[in-house]
Chain A
Amino acid sequence: MQRDKTVLNQPAIQRSRPVELTRNEPKMELLRELVAHLRQNRTLLLEEWVARIAEAQLLTAMTQEEIFAEATLVYDSYFAALETGTFEALQAYARNLSERIIPRGVETHEVVGIVLLLRDVLARSLFAKYQADYEKLNRILDAFEPAANRVANTVAVGFVQERERVIRQQQEAIRELSTPVLQVRERLLILPIIGVIDPMRARQLTEQLLRGIRTNRAKVVVIDITGVAAMDVTVANHLVQTVEASRLLGATVIVTGLSPEIAQTLVTIGVDLGKMNTVGDLQGGIEQAERLLGYKVVTLT
């Protein structure tokens, strides 16, 4: 947006360049000066920062030594970013750091908190150094603030992105795990459902099952809901729909393992399960399915 403004205000782009340069030149100088100052006092400021982190009770999941080691790394890449004005290295470091600390339960507010703390610590030291020269302090802060804000932004965004990536990955894994459609015999599928069924999962279950019926050419399907603790109207109706859709594909569905609670709920809320073929447990369901398919189990003696 800012660039647009410059272009609008100054008709000739070529002319605007040298102006920018001369305005930037002392800024770079200032940055260099302040980086030199902060580097000189590295140990002191670092210790101050780590003390402030401990005081604010951030990063409680990590030990003091770990915090110190990470803080040193953050501090150094912070200066690299301030000095060079390039944030790629810092971005990479932020991603790497997030990858390491997310599994340990570090929260977003902690990461943002420590970066802001570092900013405060550094700003304080600048105040202390330049307190005699108000003009200079102002200019130094002009150079420091945007860069520091951008660093804070980069680290926070890096952390959140990494977190979102982890969450997406886990969601994907859960989705795949949650709907196994298994073939136990030629033309016989079982679909064990465990855990809470929300509308999205219910929909996915149905899709997987219908696809499974087609690819395995199944004639009978046993849906086992022993692992489902509760069922509401929406889910129950969805189950009925799944049974009917399976029938349209030519497969018979047997539902097994309805818990006493679910049975009572379903009858009380008046879901019509008349079309559903239910058997007490999974074993009974598979036995009935085998009968439907014409199998006969014989013990070899």
Chain B
Amino acid sequence: MQVPILKQGGVLIATIQAALSDADLLELRTALVRQVVRYRSSGVIVDVTAMDVMDSFASRTLLEISHMIRLRGAATVIVGIQPEVAFAMVQLGLTLEDIPTALDLEEGLAYLQQKARSIN
């Protein structure tokens, strides 16, 4: 299943809408890393609200996406992690260290805007 990537101002928004296979995740990674520079975006939001399960591959891929996007000159925010998923992830040791996270899309956008403002 493909993940739609929307462009909203200077931000790319990828909304994951169902459980993804490993191949889908890698595809998403490639697409985001490509498009972030093509659209001259300053930030990327990955919305995982619909994900009921976050396994080690998924969380490692999110970590990689964040690091790769940083190398391409933009910031990444993961939004919409469910409370149960968050606790399960922490228990498995998947803490997504040094990736910014936010409650939902709105918060994620606010975070990126604030970040852009502090740079300018």
Contacts and interface: CB of A to CB of B under 8 A. Distances in A.
Interface of A: 206-207, 210-211, 213-214, 217, 219, 241-242, 244-251
Q: Rank and list the top 7 A-B pairs by shortest CB-CB distance, nearest first.
A: A210-B83, A250-B102, A248-B86, A245-B86, A250-B103, A241-B90, A245-B90
A143 B57 CA distance: 72
Interface string B42-84: 0000000000000000000000000000000000001101011
Interface of B: 78-79, 81, 83-84, 86-87, 89-91, 95-96, 101-103, 107-108, 111
B81 A249 contact: yes
12 contacts: A207-B83, A211-B83, A214-B83, A217-B103, A242-B90, A246-B86, A247-B95, A248-B101, A250-B101, A250-B102, A250-B107, A250-B108
Contacts, number: 51
A297 B11 CA distance: 34
B87 A241 contact: yes
A248 B90 contact: yes
Given A245-B86, A246-B86, A249-B83, 10 more contacts: A210-B87, A217-B103, A245-B87, A247-B95, A248-B89, A248-B96, A249-B81, A250-B108, A250-B111, A251-B103
B90 A244 contact: yes
B91 A241 contact: yes
Contacts of B86: 210, 245-246, 248-249
B95 A249 contact: no
A246 B81 CA distance: 10
Nearest to A203: B87
A35 B107 CA distance: 79
Contacts of B101: 247-250
Nearest to A208: B83
B8 to A, nearest CB: 19
Contacts of B108: 250
Nearest to B89: A248
Contacts of A244: 90, 95
Looking at B84, B87, B101, the one whose CB has the most chain A CB atoms below 10 A away is B87
Contact of A214 (B79, B91, B103): B103
A242 B84 CA distance: 11
Contact of B103 (A206, A242, A245, A249): A249
Contacts of A245: 83, 86-87, 89-90
Looking at A219, A242, A249, A251, the one whose CB has the most chain B CB atoms below 10 A away is A249
